[in-house]
Amino acid sequence: MYAGIYTRINASQVSLNLSEVVGKVTGEMKSNGYLPLFETRQARGLLLFRLYAASIFVDICFICFYRVSYFPSLQGKTERWVWIGMFLAELWFGFYFFVTVVVRWNPVFRYTFKNRLSARYDEEALPGVDIFVCTADPLLEPPTMVINTVLSVMAYDYPPEKLSVYLSDDGGSDLTVYALLEAARFSQVWLPFCRKLKVEPRSPEAYFRNIAEPVDDSVMAKEWLSIKKSYEDMKMRIETITKLGKIPADIRKEHKGFGEWDFVSSRYDHQAILQILIDGRDPNTMDMEGKPLPTLVYLSREKRPKYHHHFKAGALNALIRVSSSITNAPFILNVDCDMYSNNSEAIRDALCFLLDEEKGHEIAFVQYPQSFGNLTKNDIYGSSLRVVMGLELAGFDGNGGPCYIGTGCVNRRETLCGMKYSEEVKVAWRTMKNDRKNKESASVLEENCKVLASCTYEEGTQWGKEIGLRYDCPVEDILTGLSIHTGGWRSVYSNPERKAFLGVVPTTLLQSLIQHKRWSEGDFQIFLSKHCPFVYGRGKMPIKLQLSYCIYLLWAPNCFATLYYVIMPSFCLLKGISLFPKMSSSWGIPFLYAIFVNSSYGLGEFVWFGGTFRGWLNEQRTWMFRRTTSYFFAFIDDILKLCGFSRSAFAITGKVADDHVNQRYEQEIMEFGTTSPMFSILAALALLNLFSFVGGIKNVALDDVHITVFDRFGLQILLCCLLVFLNLPIYQGMFFRKDSGKMPTSVTYQSLTFALLACTIAMY
Ligand SMILES: O=c1ccn([C@@H]2O[C@H](COP(=O)(O)OP(=O)(O)O[C@H]3O[C@H](CO)[C@@H](O)[C@H](O)[C@H]3O)[C@@H](O)[C@H]2O)c(=O)[nH]1
Ligand SMILES: [Mn+2]
């Protein structure tokens, strides 16, 4: 039923099936003979979607009408207030539904013509691309993971002399430098190997884990095994030294750069460290086949306790400046260290948009989706963001451009540096100075550029405000993208069949909730600030894009309506207050329609984008958990911040866990294991729902004429039943598990006390 709603045609089919496509196509040759480098297709089945949306709106009107006309004016005060609360919650859900409809109103899908790009630009004429990789902690983000990402982006199918890879290390760790030196050496064999075998993906770890050795060609197989062996040896060396925690003396002697660490007192207090590990201009740095290598630079910007370092945004801004003095490429791709390149053509794809002669000059950045390599089949923590990545960002694109999501994004250097949109930029990238012809030696460059990464450099400048990534927001990416959009630019969402990047999702419930807290906190902070899209973007970006942003910016306040719906109907069931229409009345229909039709549509979307039924259930559960904990805490923190009591922080998401935890993750068993206020809330709510459900059933059973109680409370019991069902893993974690990932006993007792207290209040 839903399968027809959105088209997803892979690029190779596109040229064959043009006549079949219903949506508007803009990829044909123009009358002036110009062949565009990309084409845009609208989603199919929009009419169906819009009919569905309209039916829900009518449904919402019915619900509102019911709430107003059945207001319990003759009953007690409590009844009336609770009723008003229900009405407000429903109004909120209705409004939020409206925003999700705006986002889905007109999704567009983009397809590129890479062959046209190659025909138009020979290797010489292609622009330079600087690639930024960020890492921040050698324990949470192991150096082997970091260098796999680095190697995967060094190996892009793109002229290596045009590529430069910059690693920003906020962990200020010599272990990372050591790993990077190893990677630099390994790249000499890895890059030719990738070219020869057309390796995909180009992260050695992912490649050797997933791809079997070639069997038909014995020479090839031998080479394959030898490269695999040298990768594994390298990995072993890096892991041994990482475990050791310091660089052994003999290795320190091999690279004079380690000497810098004599002056590092801690990762929060050290000078800027800049090392050009591969100088792409140097004719002596070649790979095994004598082809040039991409430039490779390590930067750990200066940190001093007195100066705020602004987390990832600060790191990226230092990279923007340093790279502008070394290679100054007109386009910048930035990726997180946990997101390796999974598609060696992604740069060419992105350039098809940015270099398109007709539309390219309007595009500030090309955003790829965040996809993940460590998801399990049913994605227990709902981390895949399937629908967000598959549909919502395409919807943003239709409304003016996807938001910037921090990784997997190719930006114009000028836009990142604060330039507003204008017609003149049309040719700007061609005229940018190509610093490959830079005369200074690497060591002179290193010395000269350090000042650009110093703590004081930004004092009294517009960096972090109007230039570069924006500061003081836990989601620097969204805020930066928003200011680019208000500058008159559009952006483009590119989601080719073969995922461009694969990242890592958190493997524990708590990590996942904390990550969502950071996101929703940052998003809502933007909404509350002068950067609220309705104010900041007024007259500067389309109203439908302003509204689209709200789908994420309003995550946090969603908590109240949800908390109300999770708590009040349960509580009132115990108290004997009926909040929904009688089962026998036809007013029940709008409520049932809202629940079932909405869920079926959501399920349809989810499955259409590759999910499973259980995966969808898991996602529903996770949305509920996030709304009652992450979003709630985020909201409170935002208010505290607004009152000046606290300041934004960036809690780095852990990318490694111990073996037991990993094992449970693979088996899709929910991980608790530690105490946390978030768990206390989840457990208390789950118990409240359970007690009410049991209480409700008991009342029905004890009722003389079973029918009357059931008639009055049927819908409320149904709601409780759904909540209990979603909470099953929590009861399991509290009462039926013995492993180390179960709910800690203290949390169980604490929440039991809470829930019993609430029930007692309800009953007396
Ligand atoms: O002080 C810091 C903190 C983080 N990072 C880097 O930022 C990236 C993202 O951090 P991570 O802990 O993995 O957070 P995620 O929640 O996975 O990040 C998502 O959310 C962030 C905004 O909150 C975006 O910046 C990211 O691109 C997006 O993937 C990583 O490469 C870190 O190394 C730094 O460079 N310096
Ligand atoms: Mn991450």
336 C-alpha to ligand 1 centroid (Å): 6
Q: Phi/psi at 241 (nearest 5 deg)? A: -70, -35
Reduced to 3 states (helix: H, G, I; strand: E, B; else coil), residue 470 is coil
**523 in contact with ligand 1, CB cutoff 6 A:** no
Q: Which of 298, 303, 310, 312 should be mutated for ligand 1, with most atoms under 8 A from CB?
A: 312
Give the pair of three-digit tokens for residue 362: 């309007």
Q: Which of 176, 519, 524, 650 should be mutated for ligand 1, with most atoms under 8 A from CB?
A: 650
Q: Which residues are annotated as a binding site for Mn(2+)?
A: 312, 336
**302 in contact with ligand 1, CB cutoff 6 A:** no
Reduced to 3 states (helix: H, G, I; strand: E, B; else coil), residue 132 is strand
Residue range 39-96, pLDDT digits in tens: 999 999 999 999 999 999 999 999 999 999 999 988 889 999 999 999 999 999 999 9
According to the model, what pLDDT value does residue 6 have? 38
Nearest-CA residue for ligand 1 atom 8 is 336
Residue range 24-33, pLDDT digits in tens: 445 566 667 7
Residue range 439-487, pLDDT digits in tens: 789 999 999 999 999 999 999 999 999 999 999 999 999 999 999 999 9
Nearest-CA residue for ligand 1 atom 24 is 406
**39 in contact with ligand 1, CB cutoff 6 A:** no
The fraction of the chain above a pLDDT of 70, given in percent, is 94
Whether this model's pTM surpasses 0.90: yes
DSSP string, 618-648: HHHHHHHHHHHTHHHHHHHHHHHHHTTS---
Whether 101 and 53 have beta carbons less than 8 Å apart is answered as yes
Whether 140 and 272 have beta carbons less than 8 Å apart is answered as no
According to the model, what pLDDT value does residue 433 have? 57
Mean pLDDT along residues 699-713: 83
Residue range 230-286, pLDDT digits in tens: 999 999 999 999 999 999 999 999 999 999 999 999 999 999 999 999 999 898 899
Q: Phi/psi at 509 (nearest 5 deg)? A: -60, -45
Q: Phi/psi at 285 (nearest 5 deg)? A: -95, 100
**385 in contact with ligand 1, CB cutoff 6 A:** no
Residue range 708-760, pLDDT digits in tens: 888 999 999 999 999 999 999 999 999 999 999 999 999 999 999 999 999 99
Expressed in angstroms, the distance from the first to the final Cα of the chain is: 49
CB hemisphere CA count around 468 (13 angstroms): 22
**475 in contact with ligand 1, CB cutoff 6 A:** yes
Nearest-CA residue for ligand 1 atom 13 is 653
Measured from the Cβ of residue 278, the count of other Cβ atoms closer than 10 Å reads: 25
Q: Which residues are annotated as a binding site for UDP-alpha-D-glucose?
A: 141, 170
Nearest-CA residue for ligand 1 atom 23 is 475
Sketch out the chain's domains with CATH numbers. Answer: 114-118+128-370+405-505 (3.90.550.10)
Does residue 5 or residue 332 have the better pLDDT? 332
Q: Which of 652, 653, 655, 656 should be mutated for ligand 1, with most atoms under 8 A from CB?
A: 652
Q: Which residues are annotated as a binding site?
A: 141, 170, 312, 336
512 alpha carbon, closest ligand: 1
Task: Please list the active-site residues.
Answer: 170, 477
**520 in contact with ligand 1, CB cutoff 6 A:** no
Beta bridge partners of 410: 333, 366
Residue range 513-562, pLDDT digits in tens: 999 999 999 999 999 999 999 999 999 999 999 999 999 999 999 999 99
Reduced to 3 states (helix: H, G, I; strand: E, B; else coil), residue 108 is strand
Number of the ligand 1 atom closest to the C-alpha atom of 477 = 25
Reduced to 3 states (helix: H, G, I; strand: E, B; else coil), residue 109 is strand
According to the model, what pLDDT value does residue 646 have? 83
According to the model, what pLDDT value does residue 530 have? 97
